[in-house]
Amino acid sequence: MSEHEDLFAVYGAIDTAVKNNPELAATVGRFLPGYASGGAVGWFDEFTGFMRQHAPDAAVPTAHEALTRLADTPARGRMAARRIHALSVAARVADHLDVPDAATHIQNAHHVEGVRGTADHATPENVIGLVTNDDVFSHISDWTQLVNHGVATRLLDPSLAVHASARPCSGELVDVHTAGDEFPAAELRTSFETDAVTAPQAERFLEPSNWPAASEFWCLMEQVGTTPRGTRTYHEIVSLNCASRADNSTWTAEAFLDFAFVRTSNGARVSYQLDPDHENPQIDVDEGALSVQQVGNTVRVDTVKRIRFKHPFNGASLAMIMCALGYGNIAEKLVLDCAVSHAGSVTAGSRFPGTNPPRRVQHPRNQASKRSSRTPAAARTSRASRTARAANTAAPQQPVRPAGDVMRDMIDEMKQVLDEYADSYDTMYTKLQSRSLKPDDVMESYSQMLSRSVRRSATLVGHGVHMAKSVRAGYSKPAAADGDRHTDGGASAETGADTSPAEG
Amino acid sequence: MASNFNLAIDGYIQLAEYLVEQWRDRAGDLAAQIESRDLNPDAMMKTAQDWMTMAFQSVALVVNEAFDAGEAMRGSEDHRHVVVSPPFATNSGGTAAHGVRTLELAGPLIADLGHDAIPVSAVTLRPDSLPPQQTTFELVVDGTGHPALGYSGHVSVLDAKGEQIESVDVWVMT
């Protein structure tokens, strides 16, 4: 079992308590995302159901098991902050948890090395009393106050001071709708500042191969290729318990992500997105960016992460799932754990492979045809993904007409069809009425109708294809053409020095 | 983002396949009747009605598909995704020497991954001109339909004569 998995179980137990006692939502909603609106209630059962669709034997430990184990597991750095967060909420609803003597178990799981302070009065009762005291911590927005007060009074471990600036699970949630999608993606934005490190120190941990060392949530983050645009493809495996993921007994997700590393005037930025060459069974949107900027004496860290599972979780539930998994907090770990603890070392981490930002759009068609440097593992693609890629990257051979023009043509065409069929029907009906209909008339009418039908159907289907192209060109990549107008290379331009990685 | 438009395209593909199949079946039936010499006036009238019905159904389905595509487009309009950049500063113009300076985005914002761009028309500079002494501005970006990534570009700072006196690197995370 892992600390991540145990914290996930605690968050799950809180959700079950709220589900069975809706009046708790107001209290829990002060600290956890999605409960104030009620939208997140029930996320745990929904997520575990989703998890078992992909791993039937997967299970989450009971809250009792998790709390018992946490009591014997020291906490450190960001995980200590997450533990305080989870247990401060659990303690507030302890009477409704399905755990015998829950309050004592929570107290013990909280009073561990890395959380408890050095003062003589940092007893289990006093430390849990601090984090459940509404005068100090009545809302997640009081997080900074809680940590600063706890460290100042030596009830909390002094190493937590650096984590005062970043509230756990505080990402601002935005439902991102895309037309035609069944359900929205959830986007979480976080921002915090710290003066414990500098931007050059922090950026040494942005390269993803550093992430598994930063967090046990990342089992694997390995570069498996590069693209002609100069971006790198990484194979990512995240799990609630990397040690037991092999036997499918816990939630695990695997993805191939394209990463770009950009050097800015006062810092560094990483952007990533699911590699379209690899079909993902669980996740269909996973993209975001992480920025580290030096602003005066402080480092400002901004992150955005947009995600959608292949399951209709609502946005509030997604925010809570991200919180419980710890999926969106890599920036806090990289900067507040890794960079701070290695601030004195100039060789810790790895050199940020940043380049200048790209100055022109590289068409996907070019990357598909010129993709290179792939390992055999990375080159495995399903037929479905290849088909999807071909559909996505097929460039029009002629200028795409505006959707409105195509629509007008379709209407004109349909009017003609209706007129012609009406004329045919009128002629046939007149002849039938006058009993002058002859077999030759019928055969002639058939042949006309057949040729018209084939011709009109083909034309209308052709218009449909034009419409589809217009819709795709006008809305899916609205700026691609615009981007090209400002370039000198156009679609055939190969990756320039401005987009090549500084180191390979 | 692409998936919703793929849905629209898939809809047209499925419709085209359905229509081709339906018309092929009817043509096959007619050919079989002609070959077997079973074609009589009653059968002809029955087939004619069927063909007529199919023709109108085809038109109705194409119209319906067009409305579906329209619905997809309308959905994009309903949910704008607007983000604001961090503040940026000009080096010039801290004094009154340059007077009021005008800001212009010099081309689209290009995604870090290099595969997408946000057009100039989707970006608003706030403010779009800087009085003397003022040096900071920000971007308000309509990122609707674009992935959540970093995007970079340049803002030209123009003097009162419209001549560029500075270029400022800008970025935003959509």
Residue A33's CB: how many other CB atoms inside 10 A? 26
Chain B residues lying within 8 Å of A358, measured CB to CB: 110-114, 152
Chain B residues lying within 8 Å of A410, measured CB to CB: 62, 66
pLDDT band at A129 (very low <50, low <70, confident <90, very high): very high
Chain B residues lying within 8 Å of A403, measured CB to CB: 69, 73
Q: Reply yes or no on whether the pLDDT at A448 is more than 90.
A: no
> Is residue A9 within 8 Å of residue A63, measured between CB atoms?
yes
Chain B residues lying within 8 Å of A362, measured CB to CB: 114-115
Give the contacts of A475 (CB within 8 A, at least 6 positions apart): A179, B5, B72, B73, B76, B145
Closest CA to A205 of A336, A347, A334: A334
Distance CA A473, CA A399 (A): 10
pLDDT digits (tens, 9 = 90+) for A158-196: 999 999 999 999 777 777 775 556 677 888 888 999 999
- Residues β-bridged to residue A372: A226
pLDDT digits (tens, 9 = 90+) for A280-304: 889 989 999 999 999 999 999 999 9
Chain A residues lying within 8 Å of B110, measured CB to CB: 357-361, 483
Q: Do B171 and A357 touch (CB under 8 A)?
A: yes
Distance CA A435, CA A443 (A): 16
Distance CA A156, CA A163 (A): 12
Closest CA to A82 of A215, A188, A189: A215
Q: Do B115 and A460 touch (CB under 8 A)?
A: no
- Write out the two tokens for A94: 């302890």
Distance CA A500, CA A354 (A): 9
Q: Is B169 touching A (CB cutoff 8 A)? A: yes
- Write out the two tokens for A215: 């967090």
Sheet of strand A232-239: strand arrangement = A172-176, A185-194, A298-309, A283-295, A267-274, A252-264, A232-239, A218-226
- Write out the two tokens for A394: 């097929």
Closest CA of chain B from A424, distance in Å: 10
CA of B174: which chain A residue's CA is closest?
A304
Q: Is B81 touching A (CB cutoff 8 A)? A: yes
Three-class SS of chain B? CHHHHHHHHHHHHHHHHHHHHHHHHHHHHHHHHHHCCCCCHHHHHHHHHHHHHHHHHHHHHHHHHHHHHHHHHHHHHHCCCEEECCCEECCCCCCHHHCCEEEEECCCEEECCCCCEECHHHEEEECCEECCCCCEEEEEEECCCCCCCEEEEEEEEECCCCCEEEEEEEEEEC
Q: What are phi and psi of A67, to 5 degrees?
A: -65, -40
Write down the pLDDT at residue A178: 59
Interface of B with A in 92-151 (CB under 8 A): 107-108, 110-120, 122, 145-150
Q: Do A258 and B41 touch (CB under 8 A)?
A: no
CA of B153: which chain A residue's CA is closest?
A359
Q: Which ipTM did the prediction report? A: 0.70
Angle between helices A102-110 and A124-131 (to 10 degrees): 90
Q: Do A478 and B44 touch (CB under 8 A)?
A: no
Give the contacts of B109 (CB within 8 A, at least 6 positions apart): B117, B118, B123, B141, B151, B152, B153, B170, B171, B172
Chain B residues lying within 8 Å of A464, measured CB to CB: 12, 15-16, 62, 65-66
> Is residue A494 within 8 Å of residue B35, measured between CB atoms?
no
> Is residue A186 within 8 Å of residue A321, measured between CB atoms?
no
Q: Is B30 touching A (CB cutoff 8 A)? A: yes
Q: Do A258 and B113 touch (CB under 8 A)?
A: yes
pTM listed for this prediction: 0.69
Distance CA A175, CA A306 (A): 9
Q: What is the DSSP string of A215-239?
A: -TTEEEEEEEEE-TTS-EEEEEEEE
Q: Do B48 and A468 touch (CB under 8 A)?
A: no
- Write out the two tokens for A70: 């946490």
What share of chain A in percent tops pLDDT 70? 71
Chain B residues lying within 8 Å of A280, measured CB to CB: none
Question: Poorest-confidence range of A149-163, A211-225, A253-267, A385-399?
Answer: A385-399
Q: Is B165 touching A (CB cutoff 8 A)? A: no
Closest CA of chain B from A222, distance in Å: 18
Distance CA A168, CA A86 (A): 9
Q: Do B72 and A304 touch (CB under 8 A)?
A: no
Distance CA B142, CA B54 (A): 44
- Write out the two tokens for A299: 């480092």
Q: Is B38 touching A (CB cutoff 8 A)? A: no
SS3 at position A275: coil
Q: Is B56 touching A (CB cutoff 8 A)? A: yes
- Write out the two tokens for A374: 């792939």
- Write out the two tokens for A74: 């020291």
Size of interface A-B (CB pairs under 8 A): 243
Distance CA B91, CA A390 (A): 47
Write down the pLDDT at residue A277: 87
Q: Is B88 touching A (CB cutoff 8 A)? A: no
Question: Poorest-confidence range of A319-333, A351-365, B150-164?
Answer: A351-365
Closest CA of chain B from A459, distance in Å: 11
* For range A297-317, the mean pLDDT: 91
Closest CA of chain A from B129, distance in Å: 23
pLDDT digits (tens, 9 = 90+) for A451-464: 666 666 666 666 66
pLDDT digits (tens, 9 = 90+) for A43-98: 999 999 999 998 999 999 999 999 999 999 999 999 999 999 999 999 999 999 99
Q: Is B40 touching A (CB cutoff 8 A)? A: no
